[in-house]
Structure 1
Amino acid sequence: MQDTTQQDNWKRLAGEAAARLIEDGMVLGLGSGSTASYVVRYLGLRIQEGLQIVGAVPTSNATEQLARELNIPLTTLDAHPELDLAVDGADEIDPRLCLIKGGGGALLREKIVASAARRFVVVGDVTKQVLLLGVHFPLPVEIVPFALPLVRRRLEALEAIVQL
């Protein structure tokens, strides 16, 4: 287990590095979770220093609230269906750069925002690096209630442990 202070420092450094990719005039996607919140905070500082973005689409209510507190201009996918850059965190990242996302409950919005972006950047600290996905963190699967019985049976046929 990593020291929380050290882990927070790694997250901050990763978030700041990702936020430095943001340029004037961009339309952004802002992800969810602890590491992504550092991106949002650093973006807020950069805007205070003069960076001018068109707007940002948040992937969760928490990210939206933080962005509003930091005076980051927000927009929607309706107004800007194509984003220049989306930045989000991950729950686990393997050596092939495959990842698990969505453990915080914003998976659908995260996937939609990522798919609307010309460039998608995942931020994560060293504690997110794993050799094999799913060993330490469960794979989130979002389903609609209508499909629950079908999806449950199919996942169980794959020997998955299904938890709601």
Structure 2
Amino acid sequence: MAGDLSLIDTAKYVAARRAADMVQNGMRVGLGTGSTAAWMVRRLGERVREEGLAIKGVPTSTRTAQLARELGIEVVSLDQAGWLDITIDGADEFDRELNLIKGGGGAHLQEKIVATASDQMVVIADAGKEVETLGAFPLPVEVIPFGWQTTRTLIEEVLDTMDVLGTRSALRMNGEAPFVTDEGNHVLDLHLQRIGNPRQMALVLNQVPGVVENGLFIDICDKVVIGYGDGRVELRDINEGTVELDELFDGGKDNLFTDLAD
């Protein structure tokens, strides 16, 4: 399959490819969820077929598991894997300290569990996902269905005491019905506009009865691979304090990703 990619698709493609090429034979790999992560999974599938790459993949959602199996990647559970060498996943926002907002796809609970069970977490993203301050993207909070409206009220009361610009919350919907996560829970999207203290926010939200997990990933990400529309790819390592800029990839022709929706 061939065709020219848009600038945003090129950025996602080069980030996904660069991160997938970090994976070595024999690794246990956390497989993220989302459009950019799906491109990474496809690159790994290509390496499995063409290079004989042997890995065990731990998916963070049912849809990622299905894609990985279709591509010939061996899929195991986290319990079976025990501990992972690397997790590669996308992000909805990241700041200069590599704190993240995740959960636009509703998989942040499994994503956080898998990421924290890994030697390193690598985030792949286009350059537009970098922000000075987290919060423009709505913060997902997974809540149990029982008493979710009470949980929502408690969350909004907490938000009144936090350093944020907005306090509106909305139940995520799937058509006319509430969105349901893989664990059978609901998601409240918090429209905060700006999160002044993400660390405090993450801790406080998880103390609210009914909250399962929030989409703030604090001190979890080790590296971010940033793709640009011109094909450049930048690798930042928060632990080493290094920044690398790679040569251009040809993301416009004969790649496996042009059929994926954004």
- TM-score, length basis structure 2: 0.58
Which residue is 1:88 aligned to? 89
Secondary structure at the aligned position of 1:141 is classed as strand
Tell me the distance in 2 between the aligned counterparts of 1:51 and 1:161.
50
Q: Which residue of 1 aligns with 2:184?
A: none
Per-residue Cα deviation, 1:14-35 (whole angstroms, up to 9, x for no partner):
0001001100110111000011
**Residue 161, structure 1, aligned to residue 168, structure 2:** yes
Aligned partner letter, 2:140: P
One-letter code of the match for 1:162? Answer: S
Per-residue deviation at 1:101? 0.3
Does the 8 Å contact 1:87/1:120 carry over to 2?
yes
Structure 2 residue aligned with 1:123: 124
The Cα offsets for residues 85-141 of structure 1, whole Å up to 9 and x where unpaired, read as 111000011222211001101111111111211111111111111222112x10000
Query: Which residue does 1:45 correspond to in 2?
Result: 46
- Compared CA separation, residues 147 and 17, structure 1 to 2 (3 A): farther
Name the Cα RMSD after superposition: 1.6
Which SS does the other structure have where 1:132 is aligned? coil
Q: Which has the larger radius of gyration?
A: 2
CA distance in 1, matches of 2:7, 2:70: 26
2:143 aligns with: 143
Give CA-to-partner distance per residue, 1:10-68, whole Å, 9 cap, x none.
00000001001100110111000011111101111111122433410111122112111
Question: Relative to structure 1, is the Cα distance of residues 147 and 86 closer, same or farther in structure 2, using a 3 angstrom cutoff?
Answer: farther
1:55 and 1:120 mapped to 2: Cα distance? 16
- For CA contacts below 8 A with separation 6 or more, give which structure has more relative contact order: 2
Q: Which runs of 5+ in 2 are unaligned?
A: 161-166, 172-262
**Distance in 1 between the 2:150 and 2:100 partners?**
25
Structure richer in helix, relative to its length: 1
Give distance in 1, aligned partners of 2:7 and 2:55: 34
| Contact 1:86–1:114 (CA under 8 A) maintained in structure 2 | yes
Q: TM-score, normalised on structure 1?
A: 0.90
Shift in Å at residue 148 of structure 1? 2.6
Off by >3 Å, runs of 4+ in structure 1: none
Residue 23 of structure 1 contacts residue 51 of structure 1 at CA under 8 Å; is this kept in 2?
A: no
The residue correspondences of 1:1-164 to structure 2 (distance < 5 A) are 5-135=6-136, 137-146=137-146, 148-157=148-157, 158-159=159-160, 160-164=167-171
Whole-angstrom distance in 1 between the partners of 2:52 and 2:16: 17
CA distance in 2, matches of 1:99, 1:140: 12
Deviations 1:129-159 (A, max 9, x none): 1222112x10000111246345323321214
Q: Percent identity?
A: 48
In 2, the alpha carbon distance for the partners of 1:108 and 1:28 equals: 17
User: Secondary structure of 1:45's match?
Assistant: helix
| 3-state SS of paired residue (1:162) | strand
Structure 1 CA distance for aligned equivalents of residues 122 and 153 of structure 2: 34
Aligned to 1:111, the other structure's residue is in SS state helix
